[in-house]
Amino acid sequence: MLHIINKSPLSNNSLDSCLRLTSSGDLLLIEDAVYAAAKGNAMESKMIEAMKNMKVYVLLPDLEARGLADRVIEGVSKVDYGGFVDLVAASKNCQSWL
């Protein structure tokens, strides 16, 4: 299953809830959720823990827009819009967390 998050983990509990429920599948961070992929943020340890069982992706244009493309947590894969579509197409189901 592909989980899509679009809110900053520091102001919204979507990512936290997603990680609480989920222990497998793929996670794609877009829009303000890309802050969760940045080294040194408060969610970093939870992200690293999650990456033991999940594959984590981040949307590069959103990272670049926020000046964070050079400080992504190791192991997080950057994807472009085409990659976003490929992920959705390859997943049996997906959830866009609100």
Partner 1 sequence: MSDIKKFMFVNRKAPYGTIYALESLEVVLITAAFDQDVSLAFLDDGVYQLKKGQQTKGIETKNFSPTYRALEGYDIEKLYVEKESLEARGLTEDDLLVDVTVLSSKEMGTLMDEQDVVLSF
Taking the complex as a whole, the smallest distance from the CB of residue 86 to partner 1 amounts, in Å, to: 20
Three-state DSSP at 87 gives: helix
In the complex, the smallest distance separating the C-beta of residue 53 from partner 1, rounded to whole angstroms, is: 11
Nearest residue (CB) to partner 1, 13 versus 39:
13
Q: Which is nearer to partner 1, 17 or 39 (CB)?
A: 17
Scanning the structure block, which residue is given the tokens 């990272």? 63
Q: Least CB distance from residue 57 to partner 1, whole Å?
A: 18
CB of 15 to partner 1, least distance (A): 12
Region at 55 (left for phi over 0; alpha for psi -120 to 50; beta for the rest): beta
Beta carbon nearer to partner 1, 12 or 68: 12
Q: Which residues bind partner 1 (CB under 8 A)?
A: 1, 13-14, 17, 20-25, 93-98
75 touches 56 (CB < 8 A): yes
Q: What are the start-end ranges of the E strands in the chain?
A: 2-5, 26-29, 55-59, 77-79, 94-96
